[in-house]
Amino acid sequence: MTQTGMDTDVFQAFVVQLERFVRERLVPAEKETEKLNRVPDAILAEMRDMGLFGLTMPEEYGGAGMNVSQYVETIRILSWASGAFRALISINIGMACSALVKNGTDEQRKYWLPKLADGAIAAFALTEPDSGSDAAALKTSARRDGGDYVLNGSKRYITNAPFADMIIVMARTEAAALPKNAHISAFLVPADTPGVSIGKPEEKLGQNGSQIADVILEDARVPAAALLGGEEGTGFKAAMQSLDAGRICIAAAATGYAARILDCGLRYAAERKAFGQPIAQFQLIQAMLADSKAELYAAECMIRDAALNADKGRQVSLEASCAKMYASEMCGRIADRVVQIHGGAGYLKEYEAERFFRDARIFRIYEGTTQIQQLVIAKNMLRRMAG
């Protein structure tokens, strides 16, 4: 089904507003965000007022109704600033919205989508201590008990867990592995449910301001109505569908941040002088800048193509993985080059290049590592060839 999205003129007006907000409010708040290790309350309130938490929610549920292309462009623009701002809203407008719209019951959509659009924060709990890329091997269990389910297990590295109002929890509803991962179901779990606890936020290499933590479930009881879609065994499918949107989102985030990093490198090269002239005049510096721009342009084209195909209702697992793999690796290469352009200064915290280098590393791990993307791409190529 084709997604029409927001009116073009309305979206363009929003883009202008968002670009101004990013440059005038978010970028100046980066240092405070890093120091606090969370988004400042005043900035969070402004993000809610702008409707950033409901960009992709259907209009009938209080959202803006963006299509995938508009969503991707919004994430790209937002990601000029620290990843903490993007991370806070991306689960809402990516995975949570996709899971609810594509797989939720009418009652689940009516209850959760307006709350998420208003700024309630979602988390997506799939990864476990012994189960990361091998999602089908997860151990968290959901046992039916009358009109409820009782959840037990632990989830690891869950983005937004310390702030979350609702957590989408993937759990086993069957002890044995079943064909097509039919032993995995998804549950919409309020974070204040008795038996749900959140671990201490992890200290990370970069992306400070965005918090990740364990989610522990100890006899956490939820009503049967919390089962996503009201049907057991569809959780893995929902997770994979959500991951397509999540991977395009990460590709857009990496591309937006790479643009910021390259801008920093270009400005430094134009201002820093050596041997009586700006180092931007040196051909080997120009080669690094040129390679970076070409790779950035390629990533921008990839994510726009993937998003356009998604808007046309096409299955985009291959394209989403291609875009995510390339964009995340590209961002890392540009960050490395910009540190090199800065020379010794690039290793100092006084300069932004050092933070950019640390922040960029996670993109190659988010939503499936580069190696997992390679497997997804190859398997989809073989599947398409076989018809």
Any idea which residues carry the catalytic annotation? 367
- CB count, 10 Å around CB of 131? 18
Q: Decide: helix, strand or coil at residue 124.
A: strand
Q: What is the DSSP string of 8-21?
A: HHHHHHHHHHHHHH
Residue with tokens 């003129």: 9
How far is it, in rounded angstroms, from Cα 236 to Cα 198?
23
Tell whether the torsion through CA atoms of 182, 188, 193 and 198 is positive or negative: positive
Residues in the chain: 387
Distance in angstroms (rounded) separating the CA atoms of residues 6 and 360: 31
Single-letter amino acid code for the residue at 120: A
Which has the closest alpha carbon to 126: 140, 144, 116, 112? 140
Residue 295 neighbours by CB under 8 Å, 6+ apart? 330, 333, 334
Report the alpha-carbon distance of residue 183 to residue 354 in Å, rounded: 44
Q: Which tokens go with 321?
A: 């993985």
Nearest by Cα to 196 from 214, 181, 178: 214
> Any residues with CB less than 8 A from the CB of 4 and at least 6 apart, and which?
67
Residues 97, 94, 383: CA angle, nearest 5 degrees: 105
The CA-CA-CA angle for residues 100, 246, 140, to 5°, reads 65
76's CB contacts (< 8 A; 6+ apart) are 252, 253, 255, 256, 259, 300, 303
The token duo for 338 is 């910009």
- The DSSP secondary-structure symbol of 178 reads -
Amino acid at 151: L
